[in-house]
Structure 1
Amino acid sequence: MSIDKSKIEDSRIYFSVRLKFVIAFIGACCWTAFSIWISQNWMYDLSEYIGYFAAVFLIYGIAIIPGFMNSFAAFSLMMDQRPKRQPLVSYPGITILVAAYNEAASIKDTLVSIGLQNYPGELQVIVINDGSQDETAEIVRNAQLKFTWLTLLDLPQNAGKAHALNEGLKLTQHDLVITVDADSYLHRIALINLVERYMADPPNTRAVAGKILVRNSRENVLTKTQEWDYFLGIAATKRMQSLYQGTLVAQGAFSIYDRNALVEVGGWPECVGEDIVLTWALLNAGYRVGHCEDACLFTNAPTTLKVFVKQRQRWARGMIEAFIQHPSILIKPRLSTFFIYWNLFFPWLDIAFTFGFIPGLILACFGHYWIVGIMTLVLLPMAFLLGLLNYSIERRMFNDLELKVRKNFIGFLLYVITYSFLLQPASILGYLDEVLRTRKTWGTK
């Protein structure tokens, strides 16, 4: 029996969402016009050295377009007043799919965190062991003695995360399907919050992304830095996109889906960015994808530079895969299409930063302020405003969940100053992977 979301009361006024979009768009355009006006001397001086078109490419890629994005996000988040979730009279049954490959070190903790949820509805958990070479399957079999809701699907050989999830989907007993990474830990009310948000969202919602936070932030400098990326950057993007009814990635680490919609779009595609391509398939089918900002899952972030770069390569490649597989989404007349076009600018921004800003910073160290100088600082205050705004929003959410924002000043400083020097070159490698058609592997999340 499928869930009829149209019967669920929704008190939101949809026109107000469009009005908020218009206000944020006008505000961002005003900021952008001011940025263009104030950067005229910068444009003229840089054109003298590298030519007009190259100057436009660099200045717009380094400052003007990011300034528009930051200001649009800031105006949007200031107006984001989503209704509180309400307890349900009865909670629907859910199936949790956990794809696992060599996760012996963490799978037990993940299952324990699910067991501590006390979810009021029926619960089915399927761990799909994707040909692991370690003790993953044995640990899950031992856990079955304690958890009656636990099922093990033991695949004989590794075939990738998408294949594992699709095999698990065949065994689902409920109409709501949740994916959880095998090296993660759920906040004690994460499942309840996620289901309540899904049921409260507009009737055409078919997926809702949960909130991903870093679990191992104390491990080293890299994980300390990533803690702020998840807490500020990724969280702000999902919250903003959800406001306009088009979250672009229901990440595989923790999201809820309608089973029938999954079947309709063919399940998880066999590609590197299976979660983003699946999300775009749902959007292309006319459905809405939301975000639950207080359904928290703590995951292990990459602990080495090599693994981090591989992760961000995969994410960037997944975006290109989504454009290739769903080009018609660009002509869908809906608010979420705005953010699809937004993503088209990312290769430009990443190239301008990597091959413009980084060399410009080196030149500035030797007294040559052609690319990076005082004008760069003048054009970027919106980034600070956005960070401060999102910090206050996320801190209030943490307080509601009885969590504390960890004092991680070193990580914050590195996130602000150095993070893009890793992130954007890694993204370029991801674009090149798809252009050159390099071998696709499960890799890291």
Structure 2
Amino acid sequence: MARHLRIREPRHHWLLVGLLLATLVGVLLVQGYVQRSWNDLSDAPRTTAGGDRAPRQALRNDRPVLDLSGDRPNTAAMPARTVALTFDDGPDPRWTPRILDVLRRHHAKATFFVLGSKVAAEPALARRIVAEGHEIGSHTYTHVDLARTPSWQRGLELGLTQKALAGVLGLHTHLLRPPYSATPSGLTGSGYAAARDAGRAGYLVVIADHDTRDWDDLSEKQIVARAMPSGQRGAVVLMHDSGGDRSRTVAAVDQLLTRLNERGYRATTVSDALHLRNTAVPVSLPERIAGGTVVAAQQVGRIAAVGLTYALAVAGVLTVARVVILAAIARLHVGRTRRGRRRGGPDREPGWYYPPVSVVVPAYNEEAGIAATVGSLVRTTYPGPVEVIVVDDGSTDDTARIARDLDLPGVTVLSQANAGKPAALNAGIAYARHEILVLVDGDTVFQPDTIGRLVAPFANPAVGAVSGNTKVGNAGGILGRWQHIEYVIGFNLDRRMFDVLECMPTVPGAIGAFRRQALADAADPEAPGSTYAMAGPVSIDTLAEDTDLTMAVCRAGWRVVYEETARAWTEAPSSLRQLWRQRYRWCYGTLQSMWKHRRALVERGPSGRFGRRALPYLTVFQVVLPLLAPAVDVFALYGLFFGEPARVVAVWAAFVAVQALVGAYALRLDGERLTPLWTLPLQQFVYRQLMYLVVIQSMVTAIAGAPLRWHAIRREGTFARRDPASAT
């Protein structure tokens, strides 16, 4: 473990991530509450019918303006030859401006009973209403039926509307029209009780004398006929500037104002007609700030909902496309490999190419499994010369003693002060005598034919490195099964694709082989920003020395291939904490390696081919999508509660089904049983989120510029109890 990497990692970023996710949840809740109500608006009935008729006698003469703040209602009506045109459900970006244009041509004023949520969505339009001399009243925040909602929701709806008005217009209104109310005769029972509660809260309730029912597919003439007052009586006329197609309403307003002008009527606001004062009250600066926060939350929620809709679609398409393409290329890889073996080429079955091999095993505190690892290497059926070099990197347990006590032929144990895995690898490589170098982790077990299969591709002189097939040796529990699925479906399918495209980014530390000349070409001490431990080929620049080394080999012009028949079993982390520590190091090291080799994107030849194929793929699928995933998951929950739950569930089920089909194919290619697939749906709820958080943690660490210390994984000694190779 390299001491110079023991630097404290940033800790406060989880608070920031938590706040960001909480903020996203908050604004999406606001947007969902608003959107669900807006969606209900177009199909909802416009009036509330039925109920107790007892309050009817209190509303004398059907007067539409109600002061219900006292024990007995006070009512008022429009003066003679005075009409108060009122418009509900807006402001609407399409219809409200057209109605305002008509009013301006006729020099008429009106009262707009607005939805607070639409004021927040269309602040400029709300300001235009006020700037042109019209009046604003409350129509609740999301058009709920106050008669059918609990008292806490009534308070919320009215309070949010006032906050929206404060944030956009800097005022509060004392005028209220309850949704689904039309004329005083319809205000009965629970509707009257809700209006009375609003009156006692300081609102003047404005109903209507004439309900035009312009929402009911009436013609312009019918709307005008329903709006015209009889004789010389005044009237409050109810119309709508939102909630559907209002083209007939716009035309009817024009005709109505023309006829009213011909009859000597004045079209004005409710307050002006009744000489009411203080119906619009300026607010204080703190109230404006609070209102601005509500408005901003709704606007951000709207933007987030739209953005995440596209992000979810793109992420879904990319993810499904990836697994389908991986499966298709895997089939191509299998066919190409089989054809090569039938022709007896460099990819043929082992049996004719047996160069001497040096196996290097770096080990730090591996006493639980080092005996199984070394024993499996010695039991190889490889007929060529094999030397095994165990490099004890300053272990504090009995790793070195156990390795020496085995007293196995061809095994050398080296000991050094703790300097990190790269230094241990370099020490073993420097000691090794042979051209072909197999690098093996101290927790890995080979099957007897693994070395032969791993070395066979080196018969092709263009091959500089070979990746083997890593298997999870302790796949018994659900966490082990999840990792087993990830290794087979994710890692190994990726390697098949990288092999076909000749852009392999990682030869895993658990099982990989390198040509010494390829390592020499990859190790360039003159390269800017590169640091090599003990003057060896393995750099200490990153915590993913295997990825860093492989990328350097690719950039040096060597081909890196995948040999799926060369299998090794590794002990996977047995707890979420251990898994986190391992994947955090892997992810952070991969980010470091990608950044270190970024110049490959613009280089020519094999280096450019590697850079333009592998690095964008890693960026999209190992960085960008995981960073977006938590927000996308939150939005999926948003869809369950505020969208179309059946569609969300169907999309999720289809996504899991595609993954399961591809997973079954990948398991079959590797000769594995399909039984672990039953854990795949569960994997989406725990394991996947954990991997996403690992990426977030790694990105924050990288941005903060804090190097990550090496996380040692506690070994359980899986292979000391059971040899997985013997079970195959």
Same fold per superposition (TM over 0.5)? yes
Aligned equivalents of 1:78 and 1:319: distance in 2?
Answer: 27
Show structure 1 runs of 5+ residues with no match: 1-44, 399-403
Aligned equivalents of 2:646 and 2:567: distance in 1?
Answer: 40
In our comparison, the structure showing a higher alpha carbon Rg is 2
Change in CA separation of 1:330 and 1:444 when aligned onto 2, cut-off 3 Å: farther
Aligned equivalents of 1:205 and 1:52: distance in 2?
Answer: 49
Aligned equivalents of 2:646 and 2:547: distance in 1?
Answer: 37
Deviation (angstroms), 1:339: 2.4
The aligned runs of 1:19-418 (5 Å cut-off) are 49-50=302-303, 54-55=307-308, 58-59=311-312, 62-80=315-333, 81=335, 82=337, 83-84=340-341, 85-143=348-406, 145=407, 147-155=408-416, 157-200=417-460, 203-218=461-476, 220-266=477-523, 267-270=537-540, 271-333=542-604, 335-336=609-610, 337-345=612-620, 346-354=622-630, 356-365=631-640, 367-369=641-643, 374=647, 377-378=650-651, 381=654, 384-385=657-658, 387-389=660-662, 391-398=664-671, 405=673, 407-408=675-676, 410-418=678-686
What secondary structure is seen at the aligned counterpart in 1 of 2:365?
coil
Aligned equivalents of 1:127 and 1:173: distance in 2?
Answer: 14
Change in CA separation of 1:380 and 1:162 when aligned onto 2, cut-off 3 Å: farther
**8 Å contact kept, 1:236–1:390:** no
**8 Å contact kept, 2:478–2:679:** yes
Deviation (angstroms), 1:419: 2.5
Match of 2:188 in 1: none
Match of 2:173 in 1: none
Q: Comparing 70-79 with 378-387, which one deviates more in the overlay?
A: 378-387
CA displacement, residues 33-61 of structure 1 (integer Å, 9 cap, x when unaligned): xxxxxxxxxxxx99982258734762355
What secondary structure is seen at the aligned counterpart in 1 of 2:361?
strand
Deviation (angstroms), 1:76: 1.9
Change in CA separation of 1:57 and 1:105 when aligned onto 2, cut-off 3 Å: same
Higher relative contact order (CA 8 A, sep 6+): 1
Aligned equivalents of 2:629 and 2:669: distance in 1?
Answer: 33
Change in CA separation of 1:57 and 1:249 when aligned onto 2, cut-off 3 Å: farther
Aligned equivalents of 1:262 and 1:216: distance in 2?
Answer: 32
Q: Comparing 334-343 with 373-382, which one deviates more in the overlay?
A: 373-382
**8 Å contact kept, 2:485–2:677:** no
Deviation (angstroms), 1:194: 0.8
Deviation (angstroms), 1:121: 0.6
| Identity in percent | 24
1:426 to 691, 694, 710: 694
What secondary structure is seen at the aligned counterpart in 2 of 1:86?
coil
Q: TM-score of the superposition, structure 1-length normalised? A: 0.79
**8 Å contact kept, 1:180–1:252:** yes
CA displacement, residues 337-377 of structure 1 (integer Å, 9 cap, x when unaligned): 322211122322012102x2221243345x2238x872685
**8 Å contact kept, 2:329–2:496:** no
Report how many aligned residue pairs link the two structures. 387
Amino acid paired to 1:107: I
CA displacement, residues 105-135 of structure 1 (integer Å, 9 cap, x when unaligned): 1000011111221211111111110000000
Aligned equivalents of 1:74 and 1:396: distance in 2?
Answer: 10
Aligned equivalents of 2:311 and 2:649: distance in 1?
Answer: 11
Aligned equivalents of 2:497 and 2:395: distance in 1?
Answer: 38
Deviation (angstroms), 1:255: 0.3
Aligned equivalents of 1:140 and 1:51: distance in 2?
Answer: 58
Aligned equivalents of 2:585 and 2:386: distance in 1?
Answer: 32
Aligned equivalents of 1:78 and 1:90: distance in 2?
Answer: 26
Deviation (angstroms), 1:253: 1.1
Change in CA separation of 1:88 and 1:377 when aligned onto 2, cut-off 3 Å: same
**8 Å contact kept, 2:636–2:648:** no
Change in CA separation of 1:380 and 1:318 when aligned onto 2, cut-off 3 Å: farther
Deviation (angstroms), 1:386: 5.7
Change in CA separation of 1:177 and 1:383 when aligned onto 2, cut-off 3 Å: farther
CA displacement, residues 252-311 of structure 1 (integer Å, 9 cap, x when unaligned): 111000112212222111121111111111111122111111111110111111121122
Aligned equivalents of 2:668 and 2:321: distance in 1?
Answer: 25
Aligned equivalents of 2:648 and 2:687: distance in 1?
Answer: 21
Aligned equivalents of 1:74 and 1:386: distance in 2?
Answer: 10
Aligned equivalents of 2:593 and 2:306: distance in 1?
Answer: 29
Show structure 2 runs of 5+ residues with no match: 1-38, 40-298, 342-347, 524-536, 714-728
Could you say what the CA RMSD is over the residues aligned between the two structures, in angstroms?
2.7
Q: TM-score of the superposition, structure 2-length normalised? A: 0.50
Aligned equivalents of 1:210 and 1:134: distance in 2?
Answer: 29
Match of 1:3 in 2: none
**8 Å contact kept, 2:382–2:448:** no
Amino acid paired to 1:268: V
Deviation (angstroms), 1:174: 0.5
Aligned equivalents of 2:601 and 2:707: distance in 1?
Answer: 27
Aligned equivalents of 2:666 and 2:315: distance in 1?
Answer: 27
- The answer as to 2:705 corresponding to 1:437 is yes
**8 Å contact kept, 2:370–2:443:** yes
Aligned equivalents of 1:392 and 1:430: distance in 2?
Answer: 32
Aligned equivalents of 1:232 and 1:444: distance in 2?
Answer: 26
Change in CA separation of 1:409 and 1:319 when aligned onto 2, cut-off 3 Å: closer
Deviation (angstroms), 1:240: 1.3
